[in-house]
Amino acid sequence: MLHREPPLRMKYLDEYRDAAKARQFADALQRVTTRPWRIMEICGGQTHAIVKFGIDELLPSGITLIHGPGCPVCVTPLELIDKAIEIASRPEVIFCSFGDMLRVPGSHQDLLSVKASGGDVRMVYSPLDAVKLARENPARQVVFFAVGFETTAPANAMAVFQARQQGLTNFSLLVSHVLVPPAMEAILSSPTNQVQGFLAAGHVCTVMGCAEYEPLARKYRVPIVVTGFEPLDILQGIYLCVAQLETGRAEVENPYARAVRPEGNRLAQQLMKEVFRVIPRKWRGIGEIPQSGFALSEAYRDFDAEQRFGVAGYTAEESPDCLSGLVLQGLKKPHECSAFGTKCTPEHPLGATMVSSEGACAAYYRYRRRTPVEAQRKRE
Ligand code: SF4
């Protein structure tokens, strides 16, 4: 059996991609695995690493990895994209977003099409860039598309905090923030749930800490292992998860201690608490999950782009061809969708999971994963 700590006390990034050490983890997994287990990696970044490095092909045949809903672009509801497009089309607006939201299809077009038609849509690298734009363009309305999980929420909170401190009345946020633990609870409480253990998203825990996972582990008797993003991080997370399952334990473990403290980042948590309030949020392809997202708090409601531009009441219907809801819940793999690689490609995506750099469909397409992992194992 592998010791838990020493293999991952390393200095350089490429050490976390060491093939010999990966093989040791795979061998150790073979030794501890006595029956089939289904483990969900929450984060789309982990999904990409798994497919890119072929981690699932290294595992014992009984272990199935289920790709989770942790891709912020993928779970942003269609109507939010439509709202963004409506706001970005207005002549007085400079609409700012991270790059991967620009190509996500709304009901009829995407933000890049708005830009091509003359809309002032700008890709920024930080929400604070949008605050700077608001300061430099007092005659324009600057809107930032605040999308993401607990990882991006602190920077977005800081942007609106600074905008208020600077007295900017031409800055607002279009908020679509979602939270990981309520989504895990929705998966675990579903009658179709297949997940027996979780790899929690390490960067989310860097902000939020580990404590909020304890009640889930106890209530649903699931191991939850805080996991990083390099191949050895992921193999270690799977190994510890399987070790718990095999011995009947259901605990929160944090082998990603180089980035995650148990209490998380308290300053970031305080700022989020001041700027945001927790509300029910709709997840694209999944539906509404109670207490699963952020909206601006009462103190910051003047910075709410939905209110400022009167787009709060939008609704939209998903394409019937797209199974991304089932993919996001781990009930289907991307290659099981009949549109995968034919009607739906990264150049012409039908659903957000094919657009986003963290989407499962994009990962399967990019790394040429067109067949089930079981078939790939048989060929080796
Ligand atoms: S391949 Fe395209 S259509 Fe199919 S689930 Fe993925 S995003 Fe949707």
CA–CA dist 225, 301 (Å, integer): 37
Helix (H) or strand (E) holding 256: none
Distance 350 CA to ligand 1 centre (A): 6
Of the candidates 379, 378, 327, the one whose C-alpha atom is nearest the C-alpha of residue 61 is 378
Exposed, middle or buried by CB within 10 Å (0-12, 13-18, 19+), for 90? middle
Q: 329 in ligand 1 pocket by Cβ < 6 Å?
A: no
Of the candidates 75, 72, 95, 91, the one whose C-alpha atom is nearest the C-alpha of residue 83 is 95
- Joined together, the tokens standing for residue 51 give 């497919």
Distance 336 CA to ligand 1 centre (A): 9
Q: 222 in ligand 1 pocket by Cβ < 6 Å?
A: no
Q: 44 in ligand 1 pocket by Cβ < 6 Å?
A: no
Residue 367: per-residue pLDDT: 86
Which of 337, 342, 365, 370 is the pocket-test mutation for ligand 1 (most atoms within 8 Å of CB)?
Answer: 337
Distance 307 CA to ligand 1 centre (A): 32
Predicted model pTM: 0.89
Distance 67 CA to ligand 1 centre (A): 14
Q: 322 in ligand 1 pocket by Cβ < 6 Å?
A: yes
Which of 322, 333, 358 is the pocket-test mutation for ligand 1 (most atoms within 8 Å of CB)?
Answer: 322
Q: 285 in ligand 1 pocket by Cβ < 6 Å?
A: no
Q: 111 in ligand 1 pocket by Cβ < 6 Å?
A: no
Distance 6 CA to ligand 1 centre (A): 40
Which atom of ligand 1 approaches the CA of 365 most closely? 1
Q: For ligand 1, atom 8, name the residue with the nearest CA.
A: 322
Distance 362 CA to ligand 1 centre (A): 9
Of the candidates 151, 153, 195, 147, the one whose C-alpha atom is nearest the C-alpha of residue 328 is 195
CA–CA dist 231, 367 (Å, integer): 15
CA–CA dist 40, 291 (Å, integer): 21
Which atom of ligand 1 approaches the CA of 355 most closely? 7
Q: 351 in ligand 1 pocket by Cβ < 6 Å?
A: yes
Instruction: Judge whether 250 and 218 are in contact, CB under 8 Å.
Output: yes
Q: Where do the DSSP E strands lie in the chain? A: 37-43, 63-70, 93-97, 120-123, 141-148, 171-178, 197-201, 224-227, 252-253, 276-283, 287-296
Of the candidates 265, 263, 276, the one whose C-alpha atom is nearest the C-alpha of residue 207 is 265
- Joined together, the tokens standing for residue 365 give 């397409």
Residue whose structure tokens are 């809903």:
69
State how far Cα 249 lies from the chain centre: 27
pLDDT in tens, the chain (380 residues): 444 444 566 777 778 888 899 999 899 999 999 999 999 999 989 999 999 999 999 999 999 999 888 888 888 988 999 999 999 999 999 999 998 889 888 888 999 999 999 999 999 999 999 999 999 999 999 999 999 999 999 999 999 999 999 999 999 999 999 999 999 999 999 998 999 999 999 999 999 999 999 999 999 999 999 999 999 999 999 999 999 999 999 999 999 999 999 999 999 999 999 999 999 999 987 889 999 999 999 999 999 999 999 998 777 777 788 888 888 877 888 989 999 999 899 888 888 788 877 789 998 998 866 655 544 554 44
Residue 348: per-residue pLDDT: 84
Q: For ligand 1, atom 3, name the residue with the nearest CA.
A: 322
Q: 27 in ligand 1 pocket by Cβ < 6 Å?
A: no
Residue whose structure tokens are 């095999």:
246
State how far Cα 292 lies from the chain centre: 13
